[in-house]
Structure 1
Amino acid sequence: ESFFKGLESKYKVEMKLEPMRTEVAAVGPAKGPEGAPVTIVEFSDFECPFCARLIPTLDQVKAKYGDKVRLVFRQFPLGMHANAQKAAEASLCANDQGKFWEMHDSMFKNQQQLAVDALKAKATELGLNAEAFNTCLDSGKYASKVSEDMEAGTAAGVSGTPALFINGRFINGAVPLEQITEVIDDELQRKGV
């Protein structure tokens, strides 16, 4: 997209091409209203350092755009991260008790503490019902849900994390805020918001 923007400014032309979009279901824990004009679907891994680096950027996006943006979190634990699968499941077990985002933030703040015992300790610290959380995590209740998210991500072209789809427009990696806001502003303009 930056290539086309460079051409537009250099030659004073206006590009009318519709950006490439990939349909990705916006299912999963979310912040923001369902009817928001912009939906960001994030595929992420709790053990990925680049995913942790993207969090402040996404927080800035939510602060700037408020209810114009809905952020949906989908699981994409990478095989190279030993604790990522169980961390993904733990976030969904926490979601059962209405504490997905609290668990999300806690895990990303301390990515070295993602072994099962540490996840159970985090749940207790967050005030979750420990027995219900531990049963959920130990049973693998959400292993298939995590697999479904990974399959959806892979089908959409995700091969690493973080990966964002902003109204279907793919952005790969922990990119600067400006790159994300440029796409959001364009999407809002296209929708007349």
Structure 2
Amino acid sequence: MRAQFWAIALAATITASAPLLAAPAMAQAAVQTPDIPAPWRTVPDVGALLAQDRLAGPAQAPISVVVWSDPECPYCKQFAGVPDAAIERAKGKANLAIRMLPLPFHGAPAVLGSMAALCVADQGGAAAFYRFLNDYFARTGGNGRGLEGGRPAVVALAKQDGAADGAKLDACLRSDETLGRVAAEGDAAERATVQGTPAVAVRNNLTGETIMVDGAIDGETLDQAITLMASRSKRHGAPPADYSR
């Protein structure tokens, strides 16, 4: 997965377009268990949130929602704002981290949008990151079409939403380190058995038990999953050994 990502990412930083590659094959280690309702499936523990995650909600929440998203994915566009609202409704019981997963067949705009989101977060924090993503989804044509106006429009939106220092933003967008951070989030998606975007994982932070769904869902479905996973902490012990990454 990393080799495919770097091929398109490096091209994206130099040119206005990038080669369209086949979608990466994801691991298939998911399990459907009787007490986990469809469309959710049990997956390996995605792990606790990391320092580099852009966190919405309380850091010590018992439940974490982890979303892998592609800025050019039309289903991610449909899902935009849904997890944010669910975290608000959870009233301190859950937190959220959205991670970037630009799919190769969405080309350079997906990579540029992902890098820009991280660069905005570097300057403006998590709130700016989520503001930029939601604004990007509202404006993109999707499926690799990007924002009208191309890279200058992305830069302008990033500055508007929190990356006010233009020199720092430009350096961040051209940095191999930024590309590396995006690639690492893609590697984490592969370990978590993500099969497409958006991918939504709900983790019980006491036990590590994690369920996932691939594709856009509505807020009610996400609310129910948060409630379900919170209830399981009292009925389930530590996750089995095969949940470890």
- Interval containing the TM-score (normalised by the shorter chain): 0.7 to 0.9
TM-score by length of 2: 0.67
SS in 2 for 1:142: helix
Which one-letter code corresponds to 2:177 in the other structure? Answer: K
- The offset of 1:81, in angstroms, is 1.0
Gaps of 5+ in 1: 7-18
Among residues 63, 69, 81, which one is paired with 2:94 in the alignment?
69
TM-score by length of 1: 0.83
Is residue 24 of structure 1 aligned with residue 38 of structure 2?
Answer: no
Aligned counterparts, 1:153-192, within 5 A? 153-167=189-203, 168-191=210-233
Instruction: Confirm or deny: 8 A CA contact 2:33 2:42 kept in the other structure.
Output: no
Instruction: Confirm or deny: 8 A CA contact 1:89 1:140 kept in the other structure.
Output: no
Which one-letter code corresponds to 1:177 in the other structure? Answer: G
Which one-letter code corresponds to 2:178 in the other structure? Answer: Y
Instruction: Confirm or deny: 8 A CA contact 1:22 1:170 kept in the other structure.
Output: no
- The offset of 1:40, in angstroms, is 0.5
| Aligned-partner Cα distance in 1 for 2:33–2:140 | 33
- The offset of 1:21, in angstroms, is 3.8
Which one-letter code corresponds to 2:216 in the other structure? Answer: A
Instruction: Specify the alignment match of 1:130 in structure 2.
Output: 166
Instruction: Specify the alignment match of 1:100 in structure 2.
Output: 129
State the superposition RMSD in angstroms: 2.3
SS in 1 for 2:60: coil
Instruction: Specify the alignment match of 1:15 in structure 2.
Output: none
Instruction: Specify the alignment match of 1:10 in structure 2.
Output: none
Gaps of 5+ in 2: 1-31, 142-146, 204-209, 235-245
Aligned residues: 180
In structure 2, the CA distance between the partners of 1:59 and 1:182, relative to structure 1 (3 Å rule), is: same
| Aligned-partner Cα distance in 1 for 2:131–2:196 | 24
- The offset of 1:132, in angstroms, is 1.0
The percentage of counterpart residues that share the same residue type is 27
In structure 2, the CA distance between the partners of 1:97 and 1:179, relative to structure 1 (3 Å rule), is: same
Instruction: Confirm or deny: 8 A CA contact 2:62 2:94 kept in the other structure.
Output: yes
- The offset of 1:2, in angstroms, is 9.8
